[in-house]
Structure 1
Amino acid sequence: MTEFKFSKRVPADGTDAVGAILKAAADPQIISFAGGLPAPELFPVKEMQAAVDLAFEEHGQEAMQYGAAKGVTALREQILEHVKQKENVTGELENVLVTTGSEQVLDLVGKAFVNPGDTVLVEQPTYLCALDVFKSYGADFVSVEMDDDGMKMDALEAALKANPSTKLIYTVPNFQNPTGRTMPADRRQKLAELAAKYDVLVLEDNPYGEIRFAGQHVPAVKSFDKDGHVLYMSTFSKTLAPGFRLGWLVADAKVVDKLTVLKQSADLHTDNLAQYAVVEFLAHNDLDAHVKEISALYGKRKELMVEGIKEYFPAGVKYTDPEGGMFLWVEVPGVDDTVELFKQCLEHNVAFVPGDPFFAGKPQPGAFRLNYSNAEEDKIKAGMKQLGEALQEAVK
């Protein structure tokens, strides 16, 4: 039998713990709060079908030909206008790179900036796929403590002082994955100032920022950036459709140029038809109205989930109560093994994502993420009751 000599970037044990969890949660008998999926019933299918038809009519040959690695010019112009209006982030066309989903931004930034042994500062906990990507390039992680307002700036500065060769700070400041927390404006300004003071890059990941159903919008960290230390990334996956795989980066032109070269060696360019379809969709539809519809539904579902926690969960359980996004975070005291807790909850036909993969270092026992965007209301009501029963048994 052939023994394949995989690179060090491939996990040594060959297992996909999260994939195994999601596979178990996919059983039709299971009410799953484990995925991170948008609500498919709100996908603008008819409008996008019309946009695809227009894309073929107006740009058929260009859509089917090789294209520019930085992306379709019209889409990059729309992205520039979008971030200017929504985030007070200004730039020129040379500052925008269209990518194959925001996951590709993570990979390109990791490839461009992270050498084996480089330090990357991350929130504790943080987005598990970002950890996987940076780990594949040999990053050493230092976790920065959070509170209800996200990453603590005093803890961040202490980490920067203790790790003077830090290469990158990774943050999800809006409705953070996995906790749902949002960083206030004063911390964002301080974060930009610290990046400049210690000459370190910030990768600001904002996939959820527009999905706000309560509270007030907070400007991007990038809007406080005076000298190019902040790289801003986002996606159409949560506002239009994840299947189109369209993300983007707004950054200093030198960074965009370098990442463009790396992108060319990865996939030449992002799907042209998807780009032109979104160009036509944005030109002929009200994206803001569509996002308001998404936000209203997710807000209703989040409230049902919080009501279920209050009614059915054991006393002493802590949870976040986000103002937007797709997730909330639960901490159950007295639980030593969250994966074992997951298995116990499966016996009650309900599933979540254990918190362990979201930690760069030692995980917090008894913590897990719940997704409310992809569960219909009756499923949330039934599932939260079942989850509460399982937790009550587990903490006896």
Structure 2
Amino acid sequence: MVYQFSDRMATLQPSLIREILKSTSDPSVISFAAGNPAPDAFPVADVQRIAAEILAEQPIMALQYSVTEGYMPLRDACKKLLETHYGIPMRDNELIIISGAQQGADLTAKALVNEGDTVLCEDPSFIGCLNCFRSYNCNLVGVEMEPDGVNLEKFEQAMREQPNVKLFYMIPNFQNPSGITTSLEKRKAVLRLAEKYNVLILEDNPYGDLRCSGEPVPSIKSFDESGAVIYVGSFSKLLAPGIRVGFVAAPKPLIAKMTVGKQCSDVHTNMLAQMICERWLTTCDVEAHIHKIQEIYKRKCSLMLDCIKKEFSPAVSYTVPEGGLFVWCTLPEGADMMAFCNRAVEKKVAIVPGSAFLADQTAPCRAFRLNFSTPTDQAIVKGIEILGQLTREWYPA
């Protein structure tokens, strides 16, 4: 049998991160390649109790089909969370529950992007959503990042020169993979430019509550008065990624079209998981939990940064994130990043090549991503020591 794949799927390749993670099944490998929450960040006891209560009190509701828009009590709780915790007014917006934040990108592309249309993204950016956009045969164009967010001059140039620009995808808080937080000034400028060129912004905020230092910055959606921003939130880093629950807040016409798209995809998000999220939001001390996980990530981030400062060659630069899960390291001019990453794996340390996060994965890249949330403290110390020795051998100052 000869299989003729669709044009949409024929050129897509497996996620490089997922392929790297296969190698980490070897227990001797220290993995800085994942993006998982820290094991001690999960409110396991709360979830166990809530799940048992739901299955005892409302088993049929938890096990039955439901509406595509989502479990109404959870939708109401998420709207309240957006207004009170994130400062996002819901009066001109609607909300749909989705199966993880990445489905928000998929439904947005499904609703708005035709084959050949342009989707802009930060460069580098999250590989999962990049592959999602690629699956729609769009013209995916990356816009260079600066320490405080996207390069505004190149952002406007791309909107002005690229054909049929429909969407700009961005992660303004502790960006994956760079760890960069977009400044308030740039957030406002991005919105002004998007409105000027009639381009929608897809604001993805999976890491916003994982702040370790600095002051919170308002979301772009919080000052969006024109309906230009589609906001995606998730319970993956706040509660647990395995439940696959997120939400999209956007103007009502967009949510209506996404709802139709979701009906063609998975009908509705897992009902038991939705009910767990709702009861967790409404009966548990969410603020105390956020404070707990912030302290966990603050400690682990500080440990990795201290180790990098001590062990890495001064020829290697790196970001100092204010939160999130990642540190972005850049090798010096002329370095062979892929050779470095391969050598690291040979030394039993898994890292992710930066090229995996580029809109054009063939473009030159000297960076790699490190994750500090998943490995143990002992693994962070040992793994950075191994990488540091490699940097000093290959790139002495």
Q: TM (normalized to structure 1)?
A: 0.96
Seq. identity, %: 39
Give 1:20 shift. Answer: 2.1
Letter paired with 1:171: M
> In 1, Cα distance between the equivalents of 2:15 and 2:129?
15
The unaligned stretches of length 5 or more in structure 1 are none
SS in 1 for 2:67: coil
User: What is the aligned partner in structure 1 of residue 86 from structure 2?
Assistant: 87
Equivalent position amino acid for 1:261 in 2: V
Mapping for residues 18-29 of structure 1, pairs under 5 Å: 18-29=17-28
Cα distance in 2 between the residues matched to 1:24 and 1:369: 16
User: Residues 274-302 of structure 1, C-alpha deviation per residue, up to 9 Å, x if partnerless?
Assistant: 11111111222111111111111111111
177-186 or 326-335: which moved more? 326-335
**1:227-248 CA distances to partner (integer Å, 9 max, x unpaired)?**
1110000100001000000011
1:367 aligned partner? 367
Per the alignment, residue 268 of structure 1 pairs with: 267
Q: Which residue does 2:238 correspond to in 1? A: 239
Counterpart of 1:197?
A: 196
Which residue of 1 is the match for residue 340 of structure 2?
341
Offset, 1:336: 4.1
Specify the alignment match of 1:48 in structure 2. 47
How far the C-alpha of 1:93 sits from its partner, in A, is: 9.6
Q: Secondary structure at the match of 1:281?
A: helix
Identify which range, 98-107 or 151-160, moves more after superposition.
151-160
Unaligned 5+ runs, structure 2: none
Query: Counterpart of 2:277 in structure 1: which amino acid?
Result: V
- Name the structure 1 match of 2:378: 378
Match of 2:251?
252
Q: Which residue matches 1:69?
A: 68
SS of the residue corresponding to residue 265 of structure 2 reads: helix
Determine if contact 2:331/2:337 at 8 Å carries over to the other structure.
Answer: no
Shift of 1:92: 4.8
Give how far 1:142 is off.
1.9
Aligned mates of 1:108, 1:215 — CA distance in 2 = 33
Provide the residue aligned with 1:96 in structure 2.
95
2-structure distance, mates of 1:45, 1:36: 19
Question: Cα RMSD between the aligned structures?
Answer: 1.6
Q: CA deviation at 1:11?
A: 4.3
Looking at structure 2, the residues matched to 52 and 110 of structure 1 have their Cα atoms a distance apart, in angstroms, of 33
2:174, 2:181 within 8 Å by CA — same for their partners in 1? Answer: yes
Contact 1:334 1:395 in 2 (8 A): no
Deviation at 1:255, TM superposition (A): 0.5
2-structure distance, mates of 1:242, 1:127: 16
Partner of 1:283: 282
Structure 1 residue 71 displacement after superposition: 0.3
Q: Report deviation, 1:155.
A: 2.2
Q: Determine if the alignment matches structure 1 residue 170 to structure 2 residue 178.
A: no
Over residues 205-234 of structure 1, what are the superposed CA-to-partner deviations in whole Å (9 max), with x where a residue is unaligned? 000001101111111011121111100001
Alpha-carbon offset, residue 19 of structure 1: 2.4
Aligned residues: 395
1:36–1:374 Cα contact (<8 Å) kept: yes
1:123 touches 1:151 (CA, 8 Å); kept in 2? yes
Q: Which range is displaced more, 345-354 or 11-20?
A: 11-20
- Pairwise CA distance, 1:9: 2.2
Distance in 1 (alpha carbons) for counterparts of 2:89 and 2:21? 39
Whether the aligned pair in 2 keeps the contact of 1:51 and 1:278 (CA below 8 Å) is no
Distance (Å, rounded) in 1 between the aligned partners of 2:52 and 2:182: 41
Counterpart amino acid of 1:371? Answer: N
**Contact 1:329 1:370 (C-alpha < 8 Å) held by counterparts:** yes
- For 1:360-392, what per-residue CA distance to the aligned partner results, in whole angstroms no more than 9, with x for missing partners? 124343200000011111111111001111222
Q: Who is 1:297 aligned against?
A: 296
Measured in 1, the distance between the counterparts of 2:312 and 2:10 equals 36
Instruction: Determine the structure 1 residue equivalent to 2:148.
Output: 149
Report deviation, 1:94: 6.4
Displacement of 1:114: 1.4
Corresponding letter in the other structure for 1:301:
K
CA distance in 1, matches of 2:292, 2:242: 20
Q: Secondary structure at the match of 1:137?
A: coil
**In the alignment, residue 369 of structure 2 is paired with which amino acid?**
R
3-state DSSP class of the match of 1:204? strand
CA offset digits 1:174-232 (Å, max 9, x no partner): 00000000011111111111121111110000000011011111110111211111000
In structure 1, the residue matched to 2:122 is 123
The equivalent of 1:17 in structure 2 is 16
**Range 117-126 or range 360-369, more displaced:** 360-369
Deviations 1:32-71 (A, max 9, x none): 1100000122211111111112223443222111101000
> TM-score, normalization: structure 2?
0.96
